[in-house]
Structure 1
Amino acid sequence: MTSSAHPAVINHFFSGSSWIEGAALDQLDEMSRLPGVLEIAAFPDLHPGKYGATGVALLSSQLHPLLIGNDIGCGMSLFGLDLPLRKLKVDKAAERLRRLEAQAIGDASELLAEAGLPIDLSPGALGTIGGGNHFCELQAVEDLADGGHAAGLDDQGLYLLVHSGSRALGAAVFSETVAAHSGLAAGLDPGSEAGAAWLASHDRCVAWASLNRRLIAARAAAALRADLRLIADVPHNLVRSCDRGFVHYKGAATVAAGELAPIAGSRASLSHVVLATSGVSRSLNGISHGAGRKYDRATMHGRVGRNRSEREQLLRNSWGGVAICDDRALVVEEAASAYKDAGQVMADLQSEGLIIGLASMRPLVTFKKAVDEVEAEQRRRKPEYRREGGRGHERY
């Protein structure tokens, strides 16, 4: 990274009880010395990233595309379903949600046009979740605070939490930007042609990602034969302009006072719905978007899921919930133990006066990745598959 001799102010919005790696703190220091950086807010989900720490809001007079990375516009959207909890059968819901990405979404070109986007902007990828830590999760209220009802939450209702972003579109914008600017570590002047071009592409990615989350939820609702309503759509990987420059949200949810936001746990721990307070002005209008990783993906392969039985256990939780994930490596890498304690994240954010907790949400069905049934059947019919007894295509 190209650095400045005068580091920016770093404000920590986490306590000594939070798990914070030294490598993440080192990256914070490096980020504070980048050209144009004026202020950084660091949150309790802070952890190391490729081009800088994740779980931060960073104010700068320069644009820093490297800090935002390739999943531009990634965020979380919370939806309410008109399906009552009392009618839910988890295994039946899981069976239906397994076919989530096979649900019709309508004409992609028309949907893009309605969102004010070019009709040829990655239409084939719309309504798809992607890999990594992205998911679509069916949730129920575990505990409802006094302000929960006033915010429209119902402890007898069901909810969808969708975490996804701009898919290959954001990756293409990022790759093109890196290829075009050898000195990108110094950032881009927002008044330059290059800076304006990146911002325009960035804005399209943010809008596309929001549409994508809405269509994922629509597919899930169709699979469950339910209608849905949007409660909150909160991105956490983007840039927003303000009177002092540009705030870069890297794995940090951008909120204004009075707005609702989800804070995700893991597929075996509670998530939360919160109300942002006026205190978020102190944190560059940012809060944590989730628990944050405790262990990286490579490390997890030596910790859990060493055999089929262990992997199957990872797909169940203590509330009787299930996860749909047919990628064995992803099952291990996204195990609950890979993440920090979302309860501690909540405690820190509330202690700092940034949020008020409205509800905790238990995970019932978490969709991550399913094997295409047609492709699986074709594989089963192949002679070489039958000779090998199907060992290469175990289902988890």
Structure 2
Amino acid sequence: MGNFIGDSGPDTTPCGKPAAVAHYFTEKSWIEGSALQQLADMAQMPGMLSIAGFPDLHPGKYGPVGMAALSTRLYPQLIGTDIGCGMGLFELDLPLRKFKIEKAAEALRQLETPAFGQMNSEAMDNARSLVAKADTLGTIGGGNHFCEIQAVDELLCPEASVHLDRQKTYLLVHSGSRNLGASVFAETLAGNASLDEGLDPASDAGIAWLTRHDLCVDWAALNRQIIAERAAAVLRTEVRLIADVPHNLVRAAAHGHVHYKGAAAVTAGGIAPIAGSRASLSYVVEPLAGAAISHWAISHGAGRKYDRRNMHGRTGNTRSEREGLLRNAWGGVAICDDRRLAVEEAAGAYKNAAQVVEDLAGHGLVRPLAAMKPLVTYKKVDIDHDEAKRDKGRERRQERRQKRG
């Protein structure tokens, strides 16, 4: 059971009193004081009923990341720009015994090339039907987003074999709504004088934001599916969705709306990934009935220990250090041609995912199923767009000649 701060229970707050705040982490998890202060500040927001903070908690621009908050009012700024961001876990039809890291890394470098951008896919057709301007469809984005090939490092309970197999390879995709979510958030800020008091869900402004929010959530899920299909295509294999779990969104609840910011919105009977870093283990967990008290929310990853600016100077100062950032203890490699991003996303920037899972399990929110090792992590490549356009032009000319046939 979480440690509630406040006089009321998790779902009701007496008028004039701050919302109840529950911490689902232990002293073993390092939490910045500024993140805790952001939780306390949120508790004072109008309509806020209860807040859950998780072991990956860290400061954010408009509020902390790694929390879920129930409110009678809507706060778009708590969700931010990447509406619908989440993680999709997929099974590849590529046995681990046939998997070659270097060969897979070479293939995965083609993941986002424009020449690969026009795939015939039911998911892509559906995503395009959601919004006319979808120029970033099927792309991962920057920051902590990635596409990673994984394998089971350890099965942590007998029931894990129902979902995962040590002889198979898997794909973990972390991405969101890209420019769509950013444009929706910008329009929301421009259209409302202030969001400090939140939006009434029944008002025109509240309905408008919820409608566009839902569009972004659907688009982001389809974006992850298309990324997975592209990865499978370059690897010359097939892919199957196991679980897709968003962590930047709102969901309607009995007493209001739950705001999930960097907190995985899980369901009973499902499974969920909890990402580590490109040089540490990730985990797959089963949410337990106890997660109802935390608004069916859990951590979505390890959470940042150091912000991006503070990572510069900590590592990557020499050529050997920079090369070391692209390798891990399991022989895995990271594809990241952006030197600054490689430093900002180094394993040392993140907390210990194993401790995050331990804290969640200790509070009765999850049961750990498996630890997953990273084999190939795709972050960003330098793309020769001119050459890609020339290739695409040649393909189109060849198609026209074939039609004239």
Q: TM-score, normalised by structure 2?
A: 0.89
CA apart distance, 1:136: 0.1
Return the letter of the residue paired with 2:119.
Answer: G
Q: Which residue of structure 1 aligns with residue 217 of structure 2?
A: 206
Q: Which residue of structure 1 aligns with residue 147 of structure 2?
A: 136
Q: Which residue of structure 2 aligns with residue 393 of structure 1?
A: none
* Alpha-carbon distance between aligned partners in 2 of 1:376 and 1:220, rounded to the nearest angstrom: 21
Q: Which residue of structure 2 aligns with residue 17 of structure 1?
A: 28
* Alpha-carbon distance between aligned partners in 1 of 2:170 and 2:311, rounded to the nearest angstrom: 29
1:186 aligned to which of 197, 209, 230: 197
The verdict on how the C-alpha distance between 1:192 and 1:376 changes in structure 2, with shifts beyond 3 A counting, is same
Verify: 1:76 aligned to 2:73, yes or no: no
CA apart distance, 1:119: 4.8
Q: Which residue of structure 1 aligns with residue 119 of structure 2?
A: 106
The verdict on how the C-alpha distance between 1:209 and 1:35 changes in structure 2, with shifts beyond 3 A counting, is same
Which whole-Å deviations, capped at 9, do the CAs of 1:25-69 have from their partners, x for residues lacking one? 000000011111000010000000001111000000000000000
Q: Which residue of structure 2 aligns with residue 305 of structure 1?
A: 316
Q: Which residue of structure 2 aligns with residue 295 of structure 1?
A: 306
Name segments (4+ residues, structure 1) moved above 2 Å.
102-108, 110-119, 145-152, 373-378
Q: Determine if contact 1:138/1:363 at 8 Å carries over to the other structure.
A: yes
Q: Which residue of structure 2 aligns with residue 369 of structure 1?
A: 380
Q: Determine if contact 1:14/1:348 at 8 Å carries over to the other structure.
A: yes
Q: Determine if contact 2:157/2:370 at 8 Å carries over to the other structure.
A: no
Return the letter of the residue paired with 1:238.
Answer: L
Q: Which residue of structure 1 aligns with residue 175 of structure 2?
A: 164
Verify: 1:34 aligned to 2:24, yes or no: no
Q: Determine if contact 2:267/2:296 at 8 Å carries over to the other structure.
A: yes
CA apart distance, 1:106: 2.6
Equivalent residue runs for 1:275-286 within 5 Å: 275-286=286-297
CA apart distance, 1:150: 4.3
The verdict on how the C-alpha distance between 1:237 and 1:128 changes in structure 2, with shifts beyond 3 A counting, is same
Q: Which residue of structure 2 aligns with residue 319 of structure 1?
A: 330
Q: TM-score, normalised by structure 1?
A: 0.91
Q: Which residue of structure 1 aligns with residue 263 of structure 2?
A: 252
Work out the number of aligned pairs and report it.
373
The share of aligned pairs that are identical, in percent, is: 61
The verdict on how the C-alpha distance between 1:239 and 1:116 changes in structure 2, with shifts beyond 3 A counting, is farther
* Alpha-carbon distance between aligned partners in 2 of 1:127 and 1:145, rounded to the nearest angstrom: 33
Which ranges in structure 1 are unaligned for 5 or more consecutive residues?
A: 379-396
Verify: 1:118 aligned to 2:130, yes or no: yes
Which whole-Å deviations, capped at 9, do the CAs of 1:202-241 have from their partners, x for residues lacking one? 0000000000000000000111111011000000000000
Return the letter of the residue paired with 2:103.
Answer: K
Q: Determine if contact 1:63/1:195 at 8 Å carries over to the other structure.
A: yes
* Alpha-carbon distance between aligned partners in 2 of 1:365 and 1:311, rounded to the nearest angstrom: 17
- Describe the SS at the equivalent of 1:309: helix
- Describe the SS at the equivalent of 1:125: coil
The verdict on how the C-alpha distance between 1:220 and 1:17 changes in structure 2, with shifts beyond 3 A counting, is same
* Alpha-carbon distance between aligned partners in 2 of 1:333 and 1:146, rounded to the nearest angstrom: 34
* Alpha-carbon distance between aligned partners in 1 of 2:263 and 2:95, rounded to the nearest angstrom: 32
Q: Determine if contact 2:281/2:372 at 8 Å carries over to the other structure.
A: yes
2:98 aligned to which of 78, 87, 91: 87
CA apart distance, 1:90: 0.3
Q: Which residue of structure 1 aligns with residue 8 of structure 2?
A: none
* Alpha-carbon distance between aligned partners in 2 of 1:220 and 1:377, rounded to the nearest angstrom: 18
